[in-house]
Structure 1
Amino acid sequence: MAQTVEPSASVESETLQIELESQYSIEKDAGQKITSWSLPSALIRYGVLNKAEFQFSIPVTRQQVFNGDKLVETYHEIGDMQVGMAIDLWKQHKLIPEASLMARAIVPVAQNDVSAGVGKILSLNLMNQLTERLSFNYNVGFLQDIDLSSSGFYIINFTYELNQKFHFFVEQFGDFTMDDFLSHSFNIGFGSNLVDNLSVDFSFANGLDYKMNYVGVILTWVTHT
């Protein structure tokens, strides 16, 4: 998993931004090891107004299940499609953070169960520029899945710009219900601006209360239409 925090500002009008993410994860549970590889997943952002963007995402995953060291199952799947918008609310003013509101619908394109509903994600995305190089980015939101289960989530991220070419970040993700915290993970990484409109990010994450590790990379390409 590369940075999962959502930005506090939308892309510029008539700007197309494509983020290709490939992620490798290993989960161990009750003698089984499950490895997953995204092939990659794509997130498309397009600036439709001065302060809004259209978003479209669909993941593709290859998964293997091991019992001990023996491979017992391999399958590919297309994940649930996400379609939505992000709208800028205001810019940072002193201690008041820059903010945007994101809303996405989760459409079960790979589900054979016709009873599956349409899920939703709502997120308030915030950012405080602490110094010229250090930013504090954070999201708080609500997720209702296609099975109608619901949970809240938060993402906390500190990003440090070493120079115009390189940056580093640390990040924590958690999700919860009214009764319990479901999971937490900690993520560190770095990125580089390869050219003016192309960048790459690498990250390493660990589940804090469950046995899962991640390695991820995101390639981001931006063009004006």
Structure 2
Amino acid sequence: MRLFFFAIVAFLFISLPIFSQTVEPAMAVDRNTLQLELESLYVMEKDGADRVNSWSIPSVLMRYGISNSIELQLNIPYLRESIYEDNNAVNSRTFLDNVQMGVSVNLWEEQGALPQAALMARALVPVYDYQTSEIGTLLALNFSNTISNQLSLNYNLGWINDTEGNSAYYIANLSWEISQTIHSFVEFFGSTYNKIDMNHNINSGVGFNLGESFCLDLSVASGLNQQMLFFGGVLTYQFSI
């Protein structure tokens, strides 16, 4: 379930210039605009003598604006997962994780201290284990506050429900536009699984605008109260159709 959480929250879009981080946007892409995000993420988690390594190779997120306030979303997570016990490999598989299909709707614009907001809803459709799994759901409220011309605060509150259980999550991201071509960010994110565990993590990175339509972001994250480390990169391309 924890690795599934990382697969869900591994993408970002925040207008132009394009940023590609973990936090989800508080606005939709423009009408008749298609955005493709190719993400590769290597996650290492350890719990006692057990260790799980997961690699997205890559995963794909597609966003399409059917209006300036509504976008359709399709996320296809393609993963390789290896499980170790006492440093001995006990299982390894390459598979399509739950395909996510959904929509994001702008609720209101930013006004002073009132943040810009969007409601995001996705269906989690089983592919790898489709015979025994039911369709899950993801619901989230995504917010954004403009602090200055260079700084923005972006944050999410979400809920995931599938056959493995329930998970609530949060993401808080501070983005800094260093120049027209370089930006950086720091963010905290975490989740609680079935109201038992609350995991907290910190993520930071740097991104490069490679033109009006291309962006590359690189990041590294570490667990604050768990043994987790990941390295990631997202290449984003946006065009009108």
Among candidates 158, 162, 166, match of residue 174 of structure 2 = 158
Partner of 1:169: 185
Alpha-carbon distance change, 176 to 32 in structure 1, aligned in 2, over 3 angstroms: closer
- Report how many residues are paired: 223
Equivalent residue runs for 1:39-118 within 5 Å: 39-114=57-132, 116-118=133-135
How far apart, in 1, do the equivalents of 2:121 and 2:130 lie? 25
Partner of 2:17: none
How far apart, in 1, do the equivalents of 2:53 and 2:193 lie? 27
Residue 12 of structure 1 deviates from its aligned partner by 0.2
Alpha-carbon distance change, 24 to 97 in structure 1, aligned in 2, over 3 angstroms: same
Q: Which has the larger radius of gyration?
A: 1
**Contact 1:11-1:46 at 8 Å conserved across structures:** yes
What is the one-letter code of the residue matched to 2:139? L
Partner of 1:200: 216
Equivalent position SS for 1:195: coil
How far apart, in 1, do the equivalents of 2:120 and 2:170 lie? 14
How far apart, in 2, do the equivalents of 1:158 and 1:217 lie? 18
Residue 141 of structure 1 deviates from its aligned partner by 1.7
What are the superposed Cα offsets for residues 28-76 of structure 1, whole Å, 9 maximum, x if unpaired?
2232332211100000000011210000001111122334444443211
The more displaced of 168-177 and 65-74 is 65-74
What is the one-letter code of the residue matched to 2:95? E
What are the superposed Cα offsets for residues 101-123 of structure 1, whole Å, 9 maximum, x if unpaired?
11101111111543x22111111
Q: Which aligned runs of 4 or more in structure 1 are off by greater than 3 angstroms?
A: 66-73, 177-181
Equivalent position SS for 1:49: coil
**What TM-score comes out, normalization by structure 2 length?**
0.87
- RMSD of Structure 2 on Structure 1 (CA): 1.7
How far apart, in 2, do the equivalents of 1:90 and 1:181 lie? 33
Residue 164 of structure 1 deviates from its aligned partner by 0.9
How far apart, in 2, do the equivalents of 1:69 and 1:142 lie? 34
Consecutive unaligned residues of structure 2, counting only runs of 5 or more, are 1-9, 11-19
Alpha-carbon distance change, 6 to 112 in structure 1, aligned in 2, over 3 angstroms: closer
Partner of 2:15: none
**Contact 1:205-1:214 at 8 Å conserved across structures:** yes
**Contact 2:167-2:195 at 8 Å conserved across structures:** no
What are the superposed Cα offsets for residues 117-163 of structure 1, whole Å, 9 maximum, x if unpaired?
2111111110000011000000112111234x223211100000001
